[in-house]
Structure 1
Amino acid sequence: MPSVNGTRNGKNEEDFAGKKLRTLPTELLQRGQDVDKVDLQRNRLKHVAGISQLSNLTELNLSRNEITDFPSEIKDLHQLVRLYLSQNNLKTIPEDVFPFLEKLQFLKLSTNRIGKLPEDIIKCQNLSYLNLSNNCLTDLEPLVGLPHIKELYAERNQLAELPYSLFQTKSLTQFKVNGNPLKKPPEEVCAGGLKDIQNYFSMLESNSPSVHSVKTMFLGTSMAGKSTLCRSLKQACPVSVAEDDRTVGIEISEVESDGVRFYFWDFAGQEEYYNTHHVFITAEAFVILTIDLSSYQTENPQSFDEKVGFWIRNIHLKIPGSVVLLVGTHVDQCTDENEVKEKKKEIEENVEKMLQTHKSHLDQQRRNLQNKDNPSLYSDQINQIKRLTEYKLKVLDLVAIDCTKPQDICRLHDHIKHTVLNKDTFPNIEQTLPKCYHEVEADIQELLRNGDISEHGIVTQDDLLRELKNRHDTLNHDKLKLILQYLHRIGVIMWYKEIPALKNSLFVKPSFLITLFKTIVRHDLDKELAAISPAMLKLENALQKYKERWIRDYKDRATLSNMAIRILMRTELLNLGITDQELLKEVVGSKTTEGHVLSLLKHFDVCLTSKPSCPLNPHANEFVPKKTWKPSNSIVYEPDACLFPSNLPDNTQVEKMWGQDSTEDINIHVYFLPEIPHGFFHRFVIRICSWYSAYWMGKDQCLICCGSKRFLLREHCDEDHFIEIRCKDSDIKTSAEIQKAWEAIRLIMDRLDNLTMQWQGLCQIVHSPCRDPGCSDYFEWNDWKEWLDESGTNEFSVGLEEKYVCRNGHQRRTELLFPRAPDVADT
């Protein structure tokens, strides 16, 4: 029978999850040795005095409580096999606990504040699973020697080095350590997983060199002087850049100065190019944000927002742990030195206010959740916000320079070098790499110079491995592949092996690939389309009049003909002197095959295949499985264009197909703290529309059909930023249909959550608004990420009641507010 506060799940199991407990219930302790498993997660426990009375426990779940000191009584639970203590406030683990837990196999300590592991944890000889993610660990040495460890997770700690001996055990099969300031092995090596780490150590010699390298990204608005600054630093003297020669897309260059290796990435400032920046921006970067001081207007919030605020916000969302150096340009066009000083002071003060406001908003949101009646229900959200507050975006003081003066370029060069060599600012700039990593990189550049690899730098995996194997007898193909993957992660080469069509193609000259990107994603695409020559049109059997339609479709519908895409890329390749027809077909594509560039743009959520524009034919021949389908009309319209959602002008088509909102629609609001990133919504709907074939898309709305059900996705960027997900009430009649609607919503929210993970500085909060007209109240979701986990149950812990009542007294059926467990759904 059920316990007073808990649920008897089996003869020897007790469930007290989410009961707001502050102490262990007496009825539980009285059962003593009769209990095998106890679930005490999502309570308010700070201590678990008396737990030792349950001496036969094999599984104990204390996650999502408020425990600050590791419970010493646990050492008396000699039968314990599984222990959950994640999402508490643990800072230390005492010695003399783990030697008594000889049967312990599973230990979850993630999301605490643990700074050091006890030396005697090695006494847990049967431990096979250990999760230490989201703590403050600086050393994993105490884990060396665990004989049966299979899964080890140490993500987002403070680890600088990993012990080589840890990877000599044959039992380890899963290891994750991303989000640490690692220098041995570098994080780019660890991103490849356990096999890459093991091979790294096997290739590491005692005299392997330490290198100082940093990826430096030049960001800022158009014409702010990024290219002038980048090229001047590279040449160590002023270099003028004409307006016609400004950056289109991204330019990459490598500069070595006094032992520091810089990878310069010069990003174009127009919004059109910003939509592809996520392909190349990586964490732990050094950002040089250029600001045109001559056009900057003091006491004008819009001027600050456009030239500084927009970039700081998006850096904070995408790479919140990076370092930003503000560089003021065009000082020679300012009236005097006082004007420069005044603008410098205002910019720095406004940036500081931005950072403080960002932090205070997160702190307030965290306090709001912690002050709720049962904060354990919101532990996921609280810990997400804590994680965001731990990121320290470093924005350095503004350096104002005149790019026409050699002494200013020299001064900035010295300042940058001093900045990156400061270990407090760049703790992991020094990295240790096996010699063969440097040798393979040098060999690739030599193959390019000698013409063994074509000038465009596209080479098959097999050809490159064969060339490298001839130079490195001691490295097998697997080790060479791991080195190539590392070079891809640091941006020296590009290898998108996760894309089936590109898994055998390597781009060892990234600038060439970016050149092809910019033929399609550019601010003046309509001019490029108009400039297509008659000769290039003939190669595609296209008429001159087609150009007008391409330009009109791009401006009005944000679609670009696949034929136009092929012509633009083919023109660019021929301008570069590339006439290899086989390569042209691979890169550009044909009427029947998709080229490399288009595959990449779709893979990175820049565009998607457009639907045919013709209406549905109700008299079309019926499709019969295993029989050839014949069209009822002689002309068959195939998708022949790509849609670029970021260019859509309005929501007319979506609003027409959706109609009016109804208060009876299923309605979910996914809020984003601190805000929705620029371009996020368009990437999100591209992912959804790639999954559902029937869709209509607008500027900030998207309508999809799943069977007979319509779902509206809508972006809101007012005071609170959120994405609204609605299901049309007229499309759902029964509880069974409601459950199917929630299944589709789960898929949508799962895609949304996966995309959110690419922005380290984001967290989400989910609400269902009250359905009564004019009511501003809402119902909060908790544990919603567990519901998204398809490997888990379909149950959702909130929706267990028949009806919910808002604070204003409005009552609604629960299944229209939350996904409900199947066993309590109405039939």
Structure 2
Amino acid sequence: MYEQPQLVRMDSRKKVMMERRRSSSMREQERPETVDLSGRNLESLVPSPSLNLRIIYKLDLSNNNLQMIPESLIARMLNLVVLDLHSNQLRALPNSIGCLSKLKVLNLAGNNLELLPKTIENCRSLEELNVNFNQLVKLPNTIGFELINLKKLIVGSNKLVRLPLSTGHLTSLRHLDVSLNWLQALPEDLENLTDLQVLNVSQNFHHLTSLPYSIGLLLSLVELNASYNNIRALPDSMGCLGKLRKLRIEGNPLVSPPMEVVRQGVEEVKMYLSEKMNNNHISPRKKTNKKTWIRKLVRYGTFNSRCTTPHANDEERKGSKMLDGSRSVSYISSMNMAAFSPWRLFSPKHRSAK
């Protein structure tokens, strides 16, 4: 009479223990996994139907000989955050890449891609996209409207002639590398890229002959590499880039600023361009932009000396001589905007004088 309840209690405890072990085992199976299959000379992938691909957090297939990625493989990795496919023989990506809604890092460098599927725009969590050393001839037209979280875009060493107009809407972008392409121009409207810190447009050689005037509105720009192009004149608006600390423009047939100014460093270049701007030599290519650019530069505060850095040190102040009140040349602020006529500044008379 006494032992039966004890046996019942023991059975209950065993059931609880078994349930705990079962739930623990299930949690182990659902734990995010990193799968590294790099450098194994793989030529194809055949995923097993029984394999639980949902638990893969990072997949590294780099340094293989893969020519294609199965649609079914990508479509089942719904929790994938990092996908590394660099240094393969890929000629195309599966359309199912758009199913990876959690993907943040995609490395496709060193393949044979000529196009990216439009479905890549569905990867709206993407923060870093590296398509360096491929055969890309263009990017999806609306990529800038969709990949709103993209912070780093590397598309160097391809065959791009132009970037999509939507590039100017990648408002989270901090690093843009379009070097070693066939770019003929950058998009005109770059003013929305207020977080951009590094811009590399080098080695587009004779194809790239100018930089857009909107480059003066890249308020966070710290580093600009425009070396080895066919640029004869830097936009005057670059004199407003208060945070610019590193500038590479060698290998260009520069006339403005002259090389003797360039050799003195970035601060002297900025001073030259700002003085040129204030001396009524601004000449954007499109006449329709005459009033627009002045209003934008004033609205963004780039004409105001206070826009450079909130706490400029003595060396920075010394480098920005044009901001000194003792000089007759100064940045134009909204206070004296009434006396600053954009029509006078951009008149045919002044352009011909230049």
Matched, 1:40 2:108: yes
Match of 2:240 among 150, 168, 184: 168
Indicate if the aligned counterparts of 1:86 and 1:109 stay in contact, CA closer than 8 A: yes
Match of 1:79 among 149, 162, 173: 149
Q: 1:201 to 1:36 in 2, by over 3 A?
A: closer
The 5 A counterparts of 1:188-199 are 188-199=260-271
Contact 1:178 1:187 in 2 (8 A): no
State the distance in 1 between where 2:274 and 2:173 align: 31
Which position in structure 2 is the counterpart of 1:121?
190
Which of the numbers 62, 79, 86 marks the counterpart of 1:17?
86
TM-score, with structure 2 as normaliser: 0.53
The amino acid of 1:35's aligned partner reads L
Which has more radius of gyration?
A: 1
**Amino acid across the alignment from 1:174:** K
Displacement after TM superposition at 1:90 (Å):
0.6
Tell me which amino acid in the other structure corresponds to 2:209: T
Of 84, 98, 110 in structure 1, the residue corresponding to residue 179 of structure 2 is 110
- Give the aligned partner of residue 138 of structure 1: 209
Given that 1:175 and 1:194 are in contact with CA atoms closer than 8 Å, whether structure 2 keeps it comes out as: yes
Question: How do 1:27-66 residues align onto structure 2 when only pairs under 5 Å count?
Answer: 29=97, 31-49=99-117, 50-66=119-135
- Pairing 1:152–2:241 present: no
Relative to 1, partners in 2 of residues 1:8 and 1:156: Cα closer, same or farther, differing over 3 Å? same
Deviation at 1:26, TM superposition (A): 6.0
Question: Would the aligned equivalents of 1:84 and 1:108 in 2 still touch at CA under 8 Å?
Answer: yes
Contact (CA 8 Å) 1:176, 1:193: kept in 2 or not?
Answer: no
CA contact (8 A) 2:208 2:229 kept: yes
Q: Do the aligned residues in 2 keep the contact of 1:117 with 1:142 (CA within 8 Å)?
A: no
2:122 maps to a residue whose letter is Q
- TM-score (structure 1 length as normaliser): 0.24
Q: CA RMSD in A?
A: 3.1
Q: CA deviation at 1:206?
A: 4.2
Choose between structure 1 and 2: higher strand proportion: 1
Per-residue CA deviations over 1:509-561 (Å, capped at 9, x if unaligned) read xxxxxxxxxxxxxxxxxxxxxxxxxxxxxxxxxxxxxxxxxxxxxxxxxxxxx
> Matches of residues 448-527 of structure 1 in structure 2 within 5 Å?
none
Q: Verify the 8 A CA contact 1:62 1:85 in the aligned structure 2.
A: yes
Match of 2:24 in 1: none
- Aligned counterparts, 1:48-447, within 5 A: 48-49=116-117, 50-75=119-144, 76-99=146-169, 101-135=170-204, 136-140=207-211, 141-201=213-273, 206=279
Distance (Å, rounded) in 1 between the aligned partners of 2:155 and 2:123: 17
Q: Which amino acid letter does the alignment assign opposite residue 12 of structure 1?
A: V
- Indicate the percent of aligned positions where both proteins have the same amino acid: 28
Distance 2:199 2:150 in 1: 15
| Matched AA of 1:83 | L
Q: Residues 70, 190 of structure 1: CA spacing in aligned structure 2 closer, same or farther, 3 A cutoff?
A: farther
CA–CA separation in structure 2 for the residues paired with 1:479 and 1:23:
50
Letter in 1 for 2:168: F
Cα contact 1:41–1:65 (8 A) shared by 2: yes
**Partner SS state of residue 175, structure 1:** strand
User: Aligned letter for 1:7?
Assistant: D
Change (3 A) 1:96 1:207: closer
- In structure 2, relative to structure 1, the CA distance for the partners of 1:79 and 1:207 (3 Å cut) is closer
Partner letter of residue 60 of structure 2? T
TM-aligned CA deviation for residue 173 of structure 1: 1.6
8 Å contact kept, 1:61–1:85: yes
Indicate how the Cα distance of structure 1 residues 56 and 144 shifts in structure 2: closer, same or farther if over 3 A, else same. same
Q: CA deviation at 1:109?
A: 0.4
- Output the CA distance in 2 between the equivalents of 1:478 and 1:121: 26
> Does the CA-based 8 Å contact 1:51-1:73 persist in structure 2?
no
Q: What is the deviation of 1:74?
A: 2.2
Q: How many residues align?
A: 211
Gaps of 5+ in 2: 1-34, 38-43, 46-58, 63-78, 282-316, 322-354
* Gap change, CA 1:206 and 1:86, over 3 Å in 2: same
2:195 and 2:248 map into 1 onto residues whose CA distance is 20
Contact 1:178 1:191 in 2 (8 A): no
Please give the per-residue CA displacement for 1:159-217, whole angstroms capped at 9, x wherever unaligned.
Answer: 11112221223121211111111111113322333123124346668499xxxxxxxxx
- Conservation of the 8 A alpha-carbon contact between 2:164 and 2:187: yes
TM superposition shift of 1:25: 4.1
